Structure 1
Amino acid sequence: MFFVPLIWSFVILFTFEAKLTATTPEAIKDSITKASLYLRTYGQEPDGSFSPQSGPAITALAAAALVRTGTSADSPMVLRAVEYLLTFQQSDGGIYQRESAVANYETSIAILALHECNTSGRYDEIIQKARRFLTAIQWDESEGNTYADPEYGGAGYGRHERPDLSNTAFLIDALKSVGASSDDPAIQRALIFVSRSQNLEGVYDILEVATKNPDGGFYYTPANGGESQAGTTPTGGLRSYGSMTYSGLRSMIYAGVSANDPRVVAAIKWLGRHYTFAENPGMGDAGLFYYFHTAAKALHVLGQDQFIDADGKAHDWRKDLAGVLLSTQHDNGSWVNNNSRWLEGDANLVTSYALLALSYCQASTIE
């Protein structure tokens, strides 16, 4: 299995000018306060948006992150962000930029934001319309797909866009946030796609690639013959990597897969072999803050305060992750990844990811 050499982990931390930081509840709260002030002072545009050049998604992430970490949904900053977000409502129920190639991504994140901000049910109707839009663009029989197709059950950036695990995980997150049960038909269809994105032979697998690197981790997509952002193995297998493996684990839990199911067991074993917050395992610093967020959410959903690695060592994952985040926060309250891949050079996006991750580090009871 290829991974970035250990020395690269130290390079990442030194690049972020890391320093030892106490991870007390007070320190986390102070970090959140500074980040919220940054977003209000430097991040938000007069029209309520955050990084509008990237469409509505970053505004939605920022709104969700702010409310999850204690900013009132009725605060002027959040209300203006939501008002801006709602200008992207389309006649089909989706919330996305017109002619967008990432309609599933934008609508899923918009649903997550509106759910967090939905005081007294004021956004109920908008959310339900957006939910129907998401299920309508899922790759299923209505799109001409059958169970035998590797795309089946997945979601891509938009209608007819190749499905991938990242978008499918956002779809599942959005549906669960608005009350969909584990046995919801759309979630169960998505589970088929999620399972096919795992390097593990199983009942859903229809691709030979699953047998070439059966390490239990997850990769980007089984569509079009399969693809991993981490590349391939010498034998032609698809390399597993951290952010997709946490996304796959969380999605399976949301879909009601039991803790002793071979898919969950294999995913946890892979994560135990590669437990770290110094990098996105298999990807180095690429997508690092996306990784922080998806790892925190998955570990929270897993319901374990201590994560046991492959050597049997127990880790207080909340303390470990909060320590990295607090140590890499800039003096102005923001975070930025020096690797700008997947827009992580954008301080608004990265600060939102960091706040979302910290929301799961604050307490084991937070939902």
Structure 2
Amino acid sequence: MRRFILLALCLGMTPVFSMADESATPTVTASSEVKEVTPEQLQAAIDRGIDFLKLRGQGDDGSFSPQTGAAVTALCVKAILENRRKAIDDPAVKKALAYIETKFQTDGGIYEKGSRYRNYETSVAVGALVRANRDDKYDSVLARAEAFLKDIQWDEGEGVETSDTAYGGAGYGSHERPDLSNTSFLLEALKELGNDPDDEAIQKALTFVVRTQNLEGEGNDTEHAGKVGDGGFYYTPAAGGQSQAGTTDSGGLRSYASMTYAGLKSMIYAGLTSDDPRVVAAMKFIRNNYALDSNPGMGQSGLYYYYHTFAKALDAAGIDILDDESGTPHVWRQELARTLLDAQQEDGSWVNSGSDRWMEGDRQLVTAYALLSLSYCDQE
């Protein structure tokens, strides 16, 4: 069971149907039609979400959903601290950090002993510890975690050459292929640890990332590069390739939104600019598939993972207003805030009511995703 729970967290989605199977273009609501979310309403929703985590979501040992090792606990800590900086002294946060500390391993990783998801657990734990690192408390832990993450990246150390489609990626255990979701978590952790875009590990990861894009050329030398050609991203090019959204009749790997936003932010973290053809192509896919009522290509599966990645990527890209394929402008922060406020439960939590796949029936995980998403909606 634990294997499938952590796999769910890393993927953030599961295919229900492909983009070609969806009945129509996703519903798009222009910002002018969205009921405004005031700063007071936004803060009230955030406060209710944090209160849920503190009062109802946390175990006696300080953990949140402990069956995931350090993962959900770290996401919850990060979600609280992103929205409430002074909460570092909150007893609930201190207890959660103490729980994460029990996952510090001698090899520098931060994960449950025996876990096959060391990259994922360590990467998300880094995000929490960076924000909680007061008075240099976690300096040495973070330095060891950085070395650990770089060591387990798929490269020459694993006997993988640059010509291999696995090169530069991050995945699960040593015998599992790397994927874009894990690699995007790795890149985010390396960025949070202060690595510049020209860092060797980041550039290796970029090699993997561009091979997951449906774009021929521009560093993508895989057999799938030109079969779809819509500029979107899929799960992995390694070991023959796989898309969670399925394949086309010609054997192309279908793009889907959550991985496209993961690909976009990963390219930005690696130093690609808005005029780079790979970024331009990704933005075209995003404009053509703008939606907040679904995870385009995946329906309701992984919806809150999608919201979180959507917000991080557009923020990293410096985009405040996004025009969709029809030219309709969207103030995405306001639209995302309204979507999330309308979906908040009476107890202050969030849960994916359309699909419980990939653990999105877990209120701790989904509330963390929602709070992290809302942190990008607050521009004060």
TM-score (norm 2): 0.91
Please, which of 61, 66, 74 is the counterpart of residue 80 of structure 2? 66
Aligned mates of 2:88, 2:21 — CA distance in 1: 41
Match of 2:356 in 1: 340
**2:46 alignment partner, SS class:** helix
Which contiguous aligned blocks of 4+ residues in structure 1 show a shift greater than 6 angstroms? 7-10
Summarize deviations over 1:328-349 as a string: whole Å, max 9, x none.
0000000111311111110000
Are 1:9 and 1:284, in contact at CA under 8 Å, matched by a contact in 2? no
Aligned partner of 1:16 in structure 2 is none
The correspondence of residues 201-350 of structure 1 with structure 2, limited to 5 A, is: 201-338=216-353, 339-350=355-366
User: Partner of 2:20 in structure 1?
Assistant: 2
Q: Give the partner amino acid of 1:26.
A: E
- Aligned CA-pair RMSD: 1.7
The 5 Å alignment of 1:90-105 reads: 90-105=105-120
The percent identity for this pair of structures is 53
Amino acid at match of 2:65: S
Alignment of 1:48-59 (within 5 A): 48-59=62-73
- Please state if 1:41 is matched with 2:55: yes
1:297, 1:357 within 8 Å by CA — same for their partners in 2? yes
Partner of 1:181: 196
Residue 330 of structure 2 aligns to a residue in which SS?
A: strand
Contact 1:154/1:163 (<8 A) preserved: yes
User: Does the residue aligned with 1:210 lie in a helix, a strand or coil?
Assistant: coil
**Does the CA-based 8 Å contact 2:213-2:234 persist in structure 1?**
yes
Secondary structure of 2:225's counterpart equals helix
Cα distance in 2 for partners of 1:159, 1:36 equals 36
1:131 aligns with 2:149: no
Instruction: State the number of aligned residues.
Output: 356
Identify which of structures 1 and 2 has the higher relative contact order when contacts are C-alpha pairs closer than 8 Å and 6+ apart: 2
Structure 2 match to 1:170: 185
Q: What TM-score comes out, normalization by structure 1 length?
A: 0.94
Alpha-carbon distance, 1:305 to partner? 1.1
Q: Distance in 2 between matches of 1:232 and 1:94?
A: 35
In 2, Cα distance between equivalents of 1:194 and 1:263: 10
Structure 2, unmatched stretches of 5+, are 1-18, 29-33
Deviation of the 1:121 alpha carbon: 2.1
How does 1:111-130 map onto structure 2 within 5 Å? 111-130=126-145
Does residue 367 of structure 2 align to residue 351 of structure 1? yes
- Are 1:362 and 2:378 matched, yes or no? yes
What is the CA deviation profile of residues 179-231 of structure 1, one whole-angstrom value per residue up to 9, with x for unaligned ones? Answer: 00000000000000000000001242232211110110000000111100000
Q: Residues of 2 paired with 1:161 and 1:217: CA distance?
A: 24
Correspondence for 2:9: none
1:264-289, CA deviations, whole angstroms, 9 ceiling, x for partnerless residues?
Answer: 00000000000111100100000000
User: C-alpha separation between the residues in 1 aligned to 2:253 and 2:26?
Assistant: 22
Q: Pick from 78, 93, 102: which aligns with 1:87? A: 102
Q: CA deviation at 1:258?
A: 1.6
Query: In the alignment, is the contact (CA less than 8 A) between 2:26 and 2:291 conserved in 1?
Result: no
Indicate conservation of the 8 Å contact 2:257/2:295, yes or no.
yes
* Alignment-mate amino acid for residue 358 of structure 1: L
Q: Is the 8 A contact 1:104 1:159 kept in 2?
A: no
Contact 1:8 1:284 in 2 (8 A): no
Residue by residue over 1:281-314, the C-alpha shift from the partner in whole angstroms, topping out at 9 and shown as x without a partner, is: 1000000000000000001111121112222222
Tell me by how many angstroms 1:6 deviates: 4.3
Separation of aligned partners in 1, 2:297 and 2:155: 31
Q: Give the distance between the partners of 2:107 and 2:51, measured in 1 at CA.
A: 36
